[in-house]
């Protein structure tokens, strides 16, 4: 039987705006803890392919969960999200990490500004993933790291 690929509509981004105050609590649940461990292990492995990376822009950083983890790895981590409420949560939790309000389709960052651009379960929520990746390639000096959900 041939494999059939279906393109699904992305989840509207504003659900993250409404869920910002509760978002981080999901990682305290059993499924959230398992997902967190798996995503961190995968992220560590993928970032390991760029040993000289000194700066990382996480697109769709949300509450800063993975941006903060990246910052602990001795890289200059910057979070970017288009949900203002998520950035408020991130600033409260991690005031030392720079944040940018912006959209993955129009990254408000100059070309070649960071070593890596990271998407952790973000790409599946953008309306135009190819456009977002194209913009990320322009911003990254060394490469992109993608951790995506399998719909």
103 or 27, which is more confident? 103
Whole-number average pLDDT of the chain:
88
pLDDT, tens digit, 9 for 90 and up, residues 71-82:
999 899 999 999
Token digits for 19? 């869920």
Asked if the model's pLDDT at residue 7 lies above 50, the reply is: no
Identify the pLDDT of residue 108.
Answer: 95
Tell me what pLDDT residue 26 has: 80
Query: What's the rounded Cα separation, in Å, for the pair 125 and 129?
Result: 8
Backbone angles phi, psi at 111, to 5 degrees: -60, 140
DSSP letters of 132-145?
HHHHHHHHEEEEEE
Which pLDDT does position 12 carry in this prediction? Answer: 61
Kindly report the CATH number that applies to the domain delimited by 14-147: 3.40.50.150
23 or 10, higher pLDDT: 23
User: What's the pLDDT score for residue 4?
Assistant: 44
Work out whether strand 114-120 and strand 76-81 pair parallel, antiparallel, or are unpaired. Answer: unpaired
Residue ranges per domain, the chain? 14-147
Of 22-36, 43-57, 111-125, which range is least confident? 22-36
> In the prediction, which pLDDT does 17 show?
63
């Amino acid at each position: 039987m041939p494999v059939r690929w279906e393109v699904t509509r992305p989840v509207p981004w504003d659900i993250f705006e409404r869920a910002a105050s509760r978002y981080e609590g999901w990682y305290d649940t059993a499924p959230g803890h398992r997902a967190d461990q798996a995503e961190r292990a995968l992220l560590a492995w993928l970032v390991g392919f760029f040993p000289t990376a000194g700066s990382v822009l996480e697109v769709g950083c949300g509450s800063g969960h993975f941006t903060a983890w990246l910052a602990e790895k001795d890289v200059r981590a910057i979070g970017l999200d288009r949900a203002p409420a998520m950035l408020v949560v991130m600033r409260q939790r991690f005031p030392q990490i720079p944040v940018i309000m912006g959209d993955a389709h129009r990254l408000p960052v100059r070309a070649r500004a960071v070593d890596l651009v990271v998407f952790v379960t973000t790409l599946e929520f953008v309306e135009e993933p190819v456009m977002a990746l194209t913009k990320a390639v322009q911003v990254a000096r060394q490469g992109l790291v993608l951790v995506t959900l399998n719909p």
